[in-house]
Amino acid sequence: MKIPTAGRRDRKQRPRRRALVLALALTAAVGITGAAVLTGTLTFGTHGPTAHPGPAPAPGPSVAPSGPAPSPGAPGIGDPLLPHDGNGGYTVRRYTLAFDWRAPRTPFAARATISATATQALSRFNLDFAGNTLHTVTVDGAPATAERDGDELLVTPARPIPKGNPFTVRVAYTADPTQQRQRDDAIRTYGWVPTSDGTVVCAQPNGAKMIFPVNDHPSLRAPITFRITTPPGLSAVANGRLVERVRRPDGRVRWTYDSEHPVAAQLIQLAIGKFTFVDSTGPRGLPVRDVVPEDLVADTEDHRSRTSEHLTWLERRLGPYPFRRYGVLVGDTDLPVALETQALSVVPRAALLGDRVDAERDLVHELAHQWTGNSVAIRRWSDLWLSEGHARFYERLYSDEHGGVAIEDAMRAAYEQHDRWRHDAGAPAEPTEPTLFKVMRYDGSALVLYALREKVGEETFDRIERSWVTKYRGRVAGTRDFIALASDVAGEDLTPFLTPWLYGERTPPMPGHPDWEVDPVQD
């Protein structure tokens, strides 16, 4: 995510909690607020979903007596900052999402199909799922009991699931595209973001659970198939490749997208509106497709057209772009933040209608994230400095070379404020949940990388950076991994140098700049 360097007034997240127990029947179709379900296939029609009966499900497998006794999967993966995010006991192989979009701020029929594999013998498992009206849950075609506990959906299958077995969960619900939450940091508003004729999605940090039932943690990724049905005259876009566009007899259009790569929940995109698709190519013929509200195509063209230059510049430093396509989604909203949704970054219209230097900072920041944060995913939320710090560093470096503030001046200003940021928001690698997206994770973390470059020299630093995004491409990595890799490339143990920068209460001296001073902290 790209934010201004400082001075934002943000709001605080106040999650809602509620509980609901559903007893699900298999013997007949059930109609609840426009959703009808049998054990066969659910199809979305003009007036809501229609059920097509299928064969009765075969009895589920039983657990071998010699195996471990079935037990509930953990309600979270144990991230110290957001301990209930993600879930234990299984891994997701693919999400398939079906959305029958109607109109802005209007509830619509939705269905999520989750293909997973049990990593333990499961008597019950959790999904992250907030708000929305739940209708039915099945596991391998058989009705399951579903209990809501705040943001957790507790699913008890009709039969336990043995360790190692694949299983399929289907959740039918009515999606509420007005759902949003607030944070008192750079994120501000997240969840569904309505536009005049549709929506965009800003799921970071853990708002995907307001969109669909999910394993909502940045270290947990799976490919996604999106099937979005829109009224005539509207377009839909999501992460990845447009696989199919089908006009139905009633005039509505179904858009099918394949993410092509596993996606972390916070990086999903699902946007609907009166869009124009603007195609171009990047380095080596990389497909680039911008998605632009019809009345903003001409006015945003100048800044958007620089994407190929930005790709070339970043590839010289970080190596080949890590995904199969890229593009910019112009957000026709009043939100002042950009977001690195995977392979399709959201950049607000105001940024693309303003000054070139500022616009390019936004564009390069979100593009840099595709390497650092998207391809190389963070292991825990405390590793966020690796994602945002890298994106800010390359944004600052590009701006320095293209008419913006010199990176040395920007980093000196950050150095002066670093003790204050440490006091208010924790050291770069020690955020608290409320301070996760404060400025320390941006300029404060870019300063750590700048200090490392000053310590080892530009040539070694560039080798560290390229090695980082190459070794962990498509993988998860954390702060310890970065320190170990940097030490290996530099040929010296950098732990004593990086530890106080990342965890200390006070800002260390800046190598090569003995004259730089930190402003005193005054309570």
**Same domain membership, residue 201 and residue 166:** yes
Total of domains in the chain: 3
Q: Was 294 annotated as part of a binding site?
A: no
Q: Was 458 annotated as part of a binding site?
A: no
- Give SS3 for 381: helix
CA 414 – CA 192 distance, rounded (Å) = 33
Among all residues, which ones are annotated catalytic? 366, 442
Q: Residue 19 falls within a domain, yes or no?
A: no
**Same domain membership, residue 281 and residue 215:** no
The identity of residue 308, as a single letter, is: S
Instruction: Please give the C-alpha separations between residue 348 and each of 2, 190, 276, 403, in angstroms, as whole numbers.
Output: 10, 14, 16, 22
Beta strands in 2-132 (DSSP E): 19-22, 30-32, 35-37, 41-45, 48-52, 71-72, 90-100, 108-118, 122-128
Q: Residue 287 falls within a domain, yes or no?
A: yes
Tokens matching residue 14: 């106040």
Minimal CA–CA distance to 465: which of 492, 439, 486?
486
Tell me if 337 sits within 8 A of 188, measured CB to CB: yes
**Same domain membership, residue 188 and residue 146:** yes
Q: Residue 29 falls within a domain, yes or no?
A: no
**Same domain membership, residue 422 and residue 354:** no
- Alpha-carbon torsion 397, 400, 405, 411, what sign? positive
**Same domain membership, residue 387 and residue 357:** no
Q: Residue 68 falls within a domain, yes or no?
A: no
Tokens matching residue 467: 């090695």
Q: Residue 53 falls within a domain, yes or no?
A: no
The CATH number assigned to the domain holding 238 equals 2.60.40.1730
**Same domain membership, residue 280 and residue 265:** no
Q: Was 402 annotated as part of a binding site?
A: no
Q: Residue 337 falls within a domain, yes or no?
A: yes
**Same domain membership, residue 311 and residue 386:** no
Domain boundary among 272, 300, 333: 272
Q: Residue 174 falls within a domain, yes or no?
A: yes
Vertex 221, ends 160 and 342: CA angle to 5°? 150
**Same domain membership, residue 404 and residue 352:** no
**Same domain membership, residue 191 and residue 286:** no
Domain boundary among 363, 390, 422: 363
The CATH number assigned to the domain holding 412 equals 1.10.390.10
SS3 content of the chain, % helix, strand, coil (to 5): 30, 30, 40
Q: Residue 466 falls within a domain, yes or no?
A: yes
Domain boundary among 252, 272, 292: 272
The CATH number assigned to the domain holding 331 equals 3.30.2010.30
**Same domain membership, residue 289 and residue 334:** yes
- Could you give the count of Cα atoms lying within 13 Å of 344 in the half-sphere of its Cβ? 32
Q: What is the span of the domain harbouring residue 186? A: 74-272
Q: Going residue by residue through the chain, which has 523 residues, state the pLDDT in tens, using 9 for 90 and above.
A: 765 544 333 333 333 333 333 333 333 333 333 333 333 333 333 333 333 333 444 444 444 445 789 999 999 999 999 999 999 999 999 999 999 999 999 999 999 999 999 999 999 999 999 999 999 999 999 999 999 999 999 999 999 999 999 999 999 999 999 999 999 999 999 999 999 999 999 999 999 999 999 999 999 999 999 999 999 999 999 999 999 999 999 999 999 999 999 999 999 999 999 999 999 999 999 999 999 999 999 999 999 999 999 999 999 999 999 999 999 999 998 877 899 999 999 999 999 999 999 999 999 999 999 999 999 999 999 999 999 999 999 999 999 999 999 999 999 999 999 999 999 999 999 999 999 999 999 999 999 999 999 999 999 999 999 999 999 999 999 999 999 999 999 999 999 999 999 999 999 999 999 999 999 998 7
How far from each other are the two terminal CA atoms of the chain, in whole angstroms? 30
**Same domain membership, residue 190 and residue 105:** yes
**Same domain membership, residue 292 and residue 407:** no
pTM of the shown model? 0.87
